[in-house]
Structure 1
Amino acid sequence: MNAEFMQAFEQLGREKGISTEILFDAIEAALISAYKRNFASAQNVRVSLDRTTGEIHVYARKAVTDDVKDSRLDISLEDAKKIDPRFELEDVIELEVTPKNFGRIAAQTAKQVVVQRIREAERGIIYEEFSNREGDIVTGIIQRIEQKNVFIDLGKAEATLAPSEQIVGESYRQWDRVKTYITEVRKTTKGPQILVSRTHPGLLKRLFELEVPEIHDGVVEIKSVSREPGMRSKIAVYSRDENVDPVGACVGHKGMRVQTIVNELRGEKIDIVKWSPDPAKYIANALSPAKVVDVEINELEKISKVVVPDFQLSLAIGKEGQNARLAAKLTGWKIDIKSESQAAMLT
Structure 2
Amino acid sequence: MVAVSANRLELLQIAEAVAREKTIDRSIVIAAMEDAIAKAARSRYGQETDIHADINPKTGELRLARHLLVVDEVDNFATEINLDGARRHNPAAQVGDTIADTLPPFDFGRIAAQSAKQVIVQKVREAERDRQYDEYKDRIGEVSNGLVKRVEYGNVVVDLGRGEAILRRDELLPREVVKTGDRVRAYIYDVRREPRGPQIFLSRTHPQFMSKLFAQEV
TM over 0.5: yes
**Shift, 1:185, TM fit:** 1.7
- Structure 2 residue identity aligned to 1:160: I
Structure 2 counterpart of 1:127, from 133, 137, 140: 133
Q: Which of the residues 46, 64, 75 maps onto 1:58? A: 64
- Give 1:1-347 correspondences, 5 Å limit: 2-9=7-14, 11-12=16-17, 15=20, 18-81=24-87, 86-98=92-104, 100-102=106-108, 115-211=121-217, 213=218
| Contact 1:183/1:196, CA 8 A, preserved across alignment | yes
Scaled by the length of structure 1, what TM-score is found? Answer: 0.50
Would you say the 8 A contact 2:12–2:60 is kept in 1?
no
Change (3 A) 1:34 1:165: same
Name the SS for the 1:188 alignment partner. coil
Q: What are the Cα deviations for residues 209-231 of structure 1, in whole angstroms up to 9, with x where unaligned?
A: 233x2xxxxxxxxxxxxxxxxxx
The 8 Å contact of residues 6 and 53 in structure 1, kept in 2 or not, is answered as no
**1:102 deviation in Å?**
3.9
2:147/2:160 contact within 8 Å kept: yes
Q: CA deviation at 1:200?
A: 1.4
Unaligned runs of 5+ in 2: none
SS of the residue corresponding to residue 164 of structure 1 reads helix
CA contact under 8 A between 1:65 and 1:90: conserved in structure 2? yes
**Structure 1: runs of 5+ lacking an equivalent:** 214-347
User: Could you tell me how far 1:108 is from its partner in structure 2?
Assistant: 6.2
The structure-2 alpha-carbon separation of the partners of 1:104 and 1:49, relative to structure 1 and needing over 3 Å to count, comes to: farther
Structure 1 contact 149–163 (Cα < 8 Å) conserved: yes
- The answer (yes or no) to whether the contact 1:13–1:19 under 8 Å persists in 2 is no
Quick check: 2:140–2:190 contact (8 Å CA) kept in 1?
A: yes
AA partner of residue 131 (structure 1): K
Cα distance in 1 for residues equivalent to 2:28 and 2:149: 36
CA contact (8 A) 1:6 1:51 kept: no
Question: Taking structure 2 as the reference length, what is the TM-score of the superposition?
Answer: 0.73
Q: Distance in 2 between matches of 1:17 and 1:141?
A: 20
Task: Classify the secondary structure of the residue corresponding to 1:32.
Answer: helix
Aligned to 2:200, what secondary structure does the other structure show? strand
Separation in 1 of the partners of 2:126 and 2:199?
A: 14
Amino acid paired to 1:155: G
CA distance in 1, matches of 2:23, 2:158: 26
For the aligned residues, what is the CA RMSD? 3.4
Whose radius of gyration is greater, 1 or 2? 1
SS in structure 1 of the partner of residue 73 of structure 2: coil
How much does 1:184 deviate?
Answer: 1.0
Q: Describe the shift of the 1:166–1:3 C-alpha distance in structure 2 as closer, same or farther (beyond 3 A).
A: same
Query: In 2 relative to 1, CA 180–19 (structure 1 residues): closer, same or farther, beyond 3 Å?
Result: closer
